[in-house]
Structure 1
Amino acid sequence: MEKHIFRTSIISSHLSQENLEAELTMNPTASKKSEEIANFVEIFPILKAEILKDLPLMDMPKDKIEWIDKLIEINVAGGKMNRGLTVLHSLQLLVEGRTLTRSEIFKANVLGWCVEWLQAFFLVADDIMDQSITRRGQPCWYRQTNPSSSNNSLIGNIAINDSFILESCIYTLIKKYFRNEPYYADVLDIFHETAYQTELGQLLDLTTQPNRGDFSMFTLDTYRRIVKYKTAYYSFYLPVALSMLMAGIVSKPSFDTARDILLPMGEYFQIQDDFLDCYGEPSVIGKIGRDIEENKCSWLICQAILNGTPAQIALLKKHYGLDSKVDVEIVKRIYNEIDIQKIFRQYEDQSYGQLVEKIKLVKIMPQEVFLKLLSRIYKREV
C-alpha cells in the first residue's frame, strides 16, 4: 500500500490522475515517459529496504532504524528526479540500435537513485549552512521535529550526521548491485570525485562574502567557478558519465567531450535557479529563495553590479545580505530598475543557442544525449 501511494503521488505530479489514462492512450511518448517514471519510483522502496535490513545486524535500536527510514523517505524521495532519470535516458541513447535488457534498466535506475541520494546528502547539509526554511514544500530536515525528543525540539545539528548517513547509503547500494561489474571501481571513483568537487564548490560559495557590503569578489568569473563545482559536475556530468560507463565507453576523448558540453549546461541551469530563487513562486519551486538574505554571489547580483548605476550599486551594498523584508524589497526594486528579467531572458536564449551549436559539432557519441537533456531544462519554471 505504501509503495502504491508513493508511486501514484509521483506520477500525479506529472499528469493529473483523472487525465492520466486518456493521456497515455492518446500520447505514446507520454505513456513511455510515465512508465519510465513509474519504474524508477517503484524500485525506491526496494533500495531503502536494502539499507534498513542491515541496521539490526549493526545493533541499531528500532527507533533509530525508524529515524533513518524517515530520513531517507523525506530527503531522497519527492524531488523532480531529473538527475536520476538522466542515467537511464542517456544509456538508452548511447546503445543505439538495440533495446536495453531488464537488468540494464534496473541497474541504470539504481545508479540514478544513487545520484538522488547524493543530492539529498548535499541538500540536507546545504540547508543547515544556508539556514534555509523549506525544501520541496516542507520544512528543511534540520527544522523538523526530533523524533526522539519529548519536548518537540528540532532535529537541528543532528542533521549534519544524517547527511553523512545519506552519503554512506550510496556506497552500500553500489557494492550490492555493482561489485561484479567491470566498471565497479570507475563508478566508485566518479562518485567520490564528484562529491569532492561539489564540496569544493560549496567552500567557494560560502567564502565569497566575507564582509557584507564588500562586492569585490562578486564577479562573473567567481560565480562561474562556484557553479561549475557546486552544481554542474553532480547535476549534469555525473549522470551522463555513469551511463557512459554502463555503455562500455572508456575513451578519454568521449568523457572530455561530455564534460565540455555538460559543465556549461550546468552553469546555464544554475543561472536559471538563481533567477527562480528571486522570482519563482515558493509553492511552485518548493522552497523559499534566500540568496539575497544570505549575501550569495548569485548571477543576479553580479549582473546588477555590471548594469547598475553608481547610486544603485551603493544602495545594493547597503541593503544586500540583510535578513529583513524591507532590505530584500529594495534589492528587488533595483533588479527591476535594471530590467534583470530582460537580461536573463536574453542570456537564456543566447546560452541555449551556443549550447546547441556546440552539440552539433559532436561526432564521438550521439548528439541526442545532450539535446534531450538540454530540452528538459530550456525555459523551465521549476
Structure 2
Amino acid sequence: MWPDIVHDITKEIENSNIPDVAKWAEKMLQYTVPGGKKTRAYVLIIAYKLLAPNDQLTEENIRLVRILAWCLELLQAYFLVIDDILDRSLLRRGKQCWYRYNDIGPAAINDGVLLQTAVYYLIKKYFKEKDYYVNLLDMFYDIGFKTIIGQSLDSLSTNFDKKPNLDLFTMNQYISIVKYKTSYYSFVMPIIAAMYIAGIKDQVMFRQVKTISFKMGLLFQVQNDYLDLFGKFGVCGKDGTDIQEGKCTWFVVLALQRVTPEQRKILEECYGDSDPEKVQRVKQLFTDLDLPNTYFIHEEETYNLLKEYIQQMSCGISHSLFLNLLRKLYHKTS
C-alpha cells in the first residue's frame, strides 16, 4: 500500500501545479515514514480483524484499514520529526534525523506539518462517505491535541536552556506525560479506530479499552526509558539522550526517591548536561541504586498484572488482542 499512499499525496500536490514541492514531498515521505516498526499500524489491522464480524472482512474493507494504518504511521512520523527538533536528537531509526539531513534545519518543521495534514487529506479521500467518518476525524483531532499537550508537558519539565528542576520529577508528573504523549496515540488510537470501523458502539467496551491501553502505554514508555539508557544502538537505531536532555523518566523519578543527600548532588550537578563524563556519572548512580534490576522486576510484575487484568475483562472484547499485544511488549529490545 505504501507506493499508493505516496502517489496519492504527491499527485494531489502536483494537481496544484507545484511539481517541485511534490518531488520534495516524495523524498521526505520515503525518508521519514516507512522505516519504523509500524507497531501502531499493525495493532489497528490486527484489532480490526479480531473485532469485525466475518462478513465485514472484505478485500475492500481490509484495504481501507491498511490505508488508515498508514495514516497512523504518517502521524507517528510527524510527531517524530517535530520531537527530534525539540529534543535536538541526532539519529532516528539508524540514520540522521530529518532536520539534520543535508542541513534542512528549521524547514523540517513545515515538513512535519505536511505529514500531519496529509493524514486528514487521506481520511477525507477514502472515508468521507462512511458512517463512522465523523467519529474517525474527531478521534484523530482529539488524540492529536492530547499528544501535543503531552509533548508540551514533557518540554516544560525538561527546560532545555538550564538545568531541569528535579523537584518537578514526581511519579504523578511522569504518568501524566506518558498518558498524553504516548498512551493515547500509541495504544488508544489504533484500537478505538478499529472499533469504529468494525461498527462497535458499546461504551463500556470503549472505556475498558482506554483503561487497559493506558496501562500498556505506561509499560511501553518505561521500557523505552530503559532502552534509552542501556539499549544497544544496533538494535534501537538511535543514541540515548534522556540524561543529556534532562528528561523526566522513570529512572530519574525512582532515583530521586532513593538517593542520599550526597547522591542527589550528583544528579543536580550532572543531570541535563551533555558532558559524557557527567552522563556516565548519572548512569553509574542509577546502577549503584540498583535501578536496572528494579526495572526487570517491575517489567515482570507489570506484565503479570496486565495479563491478569486482561483475562478478567468482561465487556466482550477479544482477550487475544490484548494478550498478543502484551506478548509483543514483553522483554522488547527496540
TM-score range, shorter chain: over 0.9
CA drift at 1:213: 5.2
* 1:173 paired to 2:111: no
Distance in structure 2 (CA, Å) of the matches to 1:96 and 1:221: 40
Match of 2:202 in 1: 251
Residue 280 (structure 1) aligned with residue 238 (structure 2): no
Q: Which amino acid aligns with 1:197?
A: K
Q: C-alpha deviations, 1:59-96, integer Å up to 9, x for none?
A: 21x33211100111111111111111111101111136
The counterpart of 2:38, out of the listed 61, 81, 86, is 81
Question: How far apart, in 2, do the equivalents of 1:192 and 1:83 lie?
Answer: 17
**What residue number does 2:140 align with?**
191
Aligned match of 1:264: 215
- Alpha-carbon shift at residue 374 of structure 1 (Å): 1.1
Letter in 2 for 1:122: F
Map residues 321-340 of structure 1 onto 2, 5 A cutoff: 321-340=272-291
| Partner SS, residue 270 of structure 1 | helix
Q: 2:192·2:206 contact (CA, 8 Å) conserved in 1?
A: yes
Measured in 1, the distance between the counterparts of 2:201 and 2:109 equals 36
Separation of aligned partners in 2, 1:55 and 1:198: 27
Indicate whether 1:53 and 2:11 are aligned: yes
Q: Deviations over 1:186-244 (max 9, x none)?
A: 11111111110000000100001345153110011100000000000000010001100
Asked whether the equivalents of residues 157 and 164 of structure 2 are also in contact (C-alpha less than 8 Å), the reply is no
Between stretches 324-333 and 98-107, larger displacement belongs to 98-107
Amino acid paired to 2:93 = R
CA contact (8 A) 1:209 1:217 kept: no
Structure 2 Cα separation of the partners of residues 229 and 363 of structure 1: 26
1:284 shift after superposition: 1.0
The C-alpha deviation readout for 1:289-347, integer Å capped at 9, x for no partner, is 10000010011111111122221111111111001111100001101111111010011
Aligned partners of 2:158 and 2:245 also within 8 Å: no
SS in 2 for 1:79: coil
In structure 2, give the amino acid aligned to 1:54.
E
Superposition pairs for residues 35-184 of structure 1, below 5 Å? Answer: 43-60=1-18, 62-95=19-52, 100-145=57-102, 154-184=103-133
| Alignment correspondent of 1:371 | 323
Q: Tell me the equivalent position of 1:307.
A: 258
Report what 2:304 is aligned to.
353
- Kindly state the Cα deviation for residue 98 of structure 1 after the two structures are TM-superposed: 5.8
Equivalent pair of 1:85/1:112 in contact (CA under 8 Å): yes
Cα 1:213–1:180 change in 2 (3 A) is closer
Task: Please tell me the residue identity of whatever aligns with 1:241.
Answer: I
Q: Which amino acid aligns with 2:43?
A: T
| CA distance in structure 2 between the aligned counterparts of 1:335 and 1:314, rounded to whole angstroms | 14
Greater share of helix: 2
Q: Does 1:218 align with 2:169?
A: yes
Root-mean-square deviation over aligned CA pairs: 1.2
Q: Structure 2, unaligned stretches of length 5 or more? A: none
1:26 aligned residue: none
Q: Is the contact between residue 198 and residue 234 of structure 1 (CA under 8 Å) also seen in structure 2?
A: yes
TM-fit CA distance, 1:353 = 1.4
Hey, what does 1:203 align to over in structure 2? 152
The secondary structure found in structure 2 opposite 1:180 is coil
Given the two structures, how large is their TM-score scaled by the length of structure 1? 0.85
**2:330 is aligned with 1:381:** no
TM-score between the two structures when normalised by the length of structure 2: 0.96
Shift of 1:360: 1.4
Question: Following the alignment from structure 1 to structure 2, what is the Cα–Cα distance between the partners of residues 248 and 160?
Answer: 36
**Superposition pairs for residues 283-302 of structure 1, below 5 Å?**
283-302=234-253
Q: 1:115, 1:214 → 2: CA distance?
A: 34
Letter in 2 for 1:371: L
3-state SS of paired residue (1:250): coil
Cα drift, residue 97 of structure 1: 5.5
Q: Does the 8 Å contact 2:175/2:218 carry over to 1?
A: yes
For 1:310 and 1:97, how far apart are their aligned partners in 2?
A: 62
Letter in 2 for 1:212: K
What amino acid does structure 1 have at the position aligned with 2:70? W
